[in-house]
Amino acid sequence: MYQPVTISSTAEKVVYLVIFHLSFVMFVWSYGKTIFTSPASPSNEFCLSKADKEQYEKEERPESQQEILRRAAKDLPIYTTTASRAIRYCDRCQLIKPDRCHHCSACDICVLKMDHHCPWVNNCVGFSNYKFFLLFLMYSLLYCLFVAATVLQYFIKFWTNELPDTHAKFHVLFLFFVAAMFFISILSLFSYHCWLVGKNRSTIETFRAPTFRNGPDKNGFSLGCSKNLREVFGDEKKYWLLPIFTSLGDGCNFPTRLVIMDPEQLTVSSQNEPAKSSGANQPFPTRPLSESKNRLLASDSQWVESGPEDENVKSGTKKHIIVSLES
């Protein structure tokens, strides 16, 4: 009877050690990737040319400056503007801001799909390391849960006076409370960011909705929960739990809920149809989305076509993308 008990006890210790070391390694790996991954900045195509920059600095009227920015942004993949329908321009970095890009005053750079600047990692959380940040929260949550669960039995014995009267029992009490408090605080933060991923929003966009041609829309970038998840974690599910960059896209432009036609059809329709009331000051792109974004928009089974928008598209028009969702 003694031998099976010994084997079971040894097996439990092995399982505990494996789980402990695995969770600790993944926690440290994710934390390190979150800290040391540099925030992604806009590419050079969003920077003004030397001539446009000089002309922009010479102009004193905001209307003239906006005209220069509209001319420079006409071929850029930009769908959002400021609340006043102006081109989003960073005077500090001297570049046109891509969609979901914001300037971080702490890092003093424009960060692609900026979520927030996190003092706990001393880095900006954005497109380049958002997946690492989520995994860091998840593995730290599991690590705290594992510590609290393994100490729980000794914590119960502490209150029932079954532990020996030594200084170690106070260490058990301290360890349990610390693990439990960290678990509760991280759980709230992790749950909030899971909600953001499901809605395809950043923390900044939660407080200030992005402005599209039809006005502010907090769900403008939402493609449905499944596609929103794939946009952050990628198509390969086997890499989702590893701190390896697998996010889709380039961080400079994102698929939206707008109806985007084929570029050739869009050019023809723009010549034959009068301009809509969205205004000439909104330079929406005519270039197709990248391959990774087309994969997100390829599966028709998850799309829900809205009536008003689809009625405006003639049956003979070939669409490149239909992305009208009910969020």
Is residue 100 within 8 A of residue 252, CB to CB? The reply is no
Q: Check residue 268 and give its pLDDT.
A: 39
Q: Please name the amino acid found at residue 204.
A: I
State whether 109 and 153 are in the same domain.
no
List, for residues 247-282, the tens digit of each pLDDT value: 999 999 898 876 443 334 334 344 444 433 333 344
Average pLDDT over the chain reads 79
Q: Which of 91, 124, 157 is the last residue of a domain?
A: 124
State whether 25 and 137 are in the same domain.
yes
Considering 5-9, 131-135, 301-305, 307-311, the range whose residues carry the highest mean pLDDT is: 131-135
Domain that holds residue 69: 44-124
Q: Check residue 18 and give its pLDDT.
A: 82
Is residue 142 within 8 A of residue 52, CB to CB? The reply is no
Is residue 42 within 8 A of residue 111, CB to CB? The reply is no
- Taking 90 as the threshold, does the pLDDT of residue 13 lie above it? no
Q: Check residue 258 and give its pLDDT.
A: 62
State whether 31 and 142 are in the same domain.
yes
Q: Please name the amino acid found at residue 167.
A: H
The pLDDT confidence band at residue 117, using thresholds 50, 70 and 90, is very high
Residue 86 lies in a domain: yes
Residue 245 lies in a domain: no
State whether 172 and 25 are in the same domain.
yes
Higher pLDDT, 64 or 315: 64
Contacts of 135 (CB under 8 A, 6+ apart): 26, 30, 241, 242, 243
Tell me the pTM: 0.77
State whether 97 and 22 are in the same domain.
no
Comparing CA positions, the residue from 271, 293, 227 lying closest to residue 79 is 293
State whether 91 and 211 are in the same domain.
no
The residue from 47, 90, 118, 194 that is catalytic is: 118
Could you give the CA distance from residue 281 to residue 236 in angstroms, rounded to a whole number? 40
List, for residues 38-83, the tens digit of each pLDDT value: 999 999 999 999 999 999 999 889 999 999 999 999 889 999 999 9
State whether 63 and 210 are in the same domain.
no
Could you give the CA distance from residue 81 to residue 281 in angstroms, rounded to a whole number? 9
- Taking 60 as the threshold, does the pLDDT of residue 34 lie above it? yes
> And the tokens for 53?
């920059």
Q: Which 3 state secondary structure label does DSSP give 48? A: coil
Residue 307 lies in a domain: no
Residue 250 lies in a domain: no
Measure Cα distances from 131 to 102, 127, 145, 242, 243 in Å. 18, 8, 21, 9, 7
Residue 309 lies in a domain: no
State whether 103 and 145 are in the same domain.
no
Q: For the residues 185-200, what does the mean pLDDT come to?
A: 96
State whether 26 and 52 are in the same domain.
no
Counting the structural domains of the chain, the total is 2
Is residue 263 within 8 A of residue 318, CB to CB? The reply is no
Higher pLDDT, 20 or 294: 20
State whether 146 and 234 are in the same domain.
yes
Could you give the CA distance from residue 118 to residue 123 in angstroms, rounded to a whole number? 6
State whether 140 and 172 are in the same domain.
yes
Higher pLDDT, 118 or 292: 118
Higher pLDDT, 18 or 61: 61
State whether 138 and 228 are in the same domain.
yes
Q: Which of 82, 101, 124 is the last residue of a domain?
A: 124
Is residue 216 within 8 A of residue 83, CB to CB? The reply is yes
The pLDDT confidence band at residue 123, using thresholds 50, 70 and 90, is very high
- For residue 259, the surrounding DSSP H or E stretch is strand 259-261
105, exposed or middle or buried, with CB in 10 Å at 0-12, 13-18, 19+? exposed
Instruction: Establish whether 118 is a catalytic residue.
Output: yes
Q: Which of 124, 144, 160 is the last residue of a domain?
A: 124
Q: Check residue 309 and give its pLDDT.
A: 38
Residue 98 lies in a domain: yes
Q: Which 3 state secondary structure label does DSSP give 296? A: helix
